[in-house]
Amino acid sequence: MATQYDICFVTAGDKKTAEKISDCLLSGKLAACVSIVPGLESAYWWKDRIEKAAEFLLIIKTRRALREDVMQCVKNHHPYTVPETIFLGVDGAAQNYLDWLGANTLFTTNIPKDKAQDAGKKL
């Protein structure tokens, strides 16, 4: 059974960028938890060529209703022209985990965009 929660995957080319995005998401309560996984090796098409890069993977636990805000935070703090931001619905999680996730994220996205963006700029 699908829930109102998502996991979002974002890749970053360096630890500083990954930490800036994580700090923005957590301080703005746009995510309950962000796991930063080092050691990712990515191969991808870019400008008609296959590129390879070492990256960090962010695994972001959030509410589905916060998708747009999460994407805006990533866009504001990411140097990539096309940052990866992929959402997958959470399915089959323990209810106590979902309760924790909900208690540690914004319930509504009805906050002024400038306040959400300002939270990340202060970091």
At 6-16, the pLDDT tens digits run: 999 999 999 99
pLDDT digit string, tens, across residues 13-45: 999 999 999 999 999 999 999 999 999 999 999
User: How is 61-72 classified by DSSP, letter by letter?
Assistant: EEEGGGHHHHHH
The class level of CATH for 2-121 reads: alpha beta
Which pLDDT score is estimated for 120? 47
- 39, amino acid identity: G
Helix (H) or strand (E) holding 114: helix 113-121
Q: Where are the domains of the chain?
A: 2-121
pLDDT digit string, tens, across residues 41-86: 999 999 999 999 999 999 999 999 999 999 999 999 999 999 999 9
Burial (CB < 10 A; 0-12, 13-18, 19+), residue 28, is buried
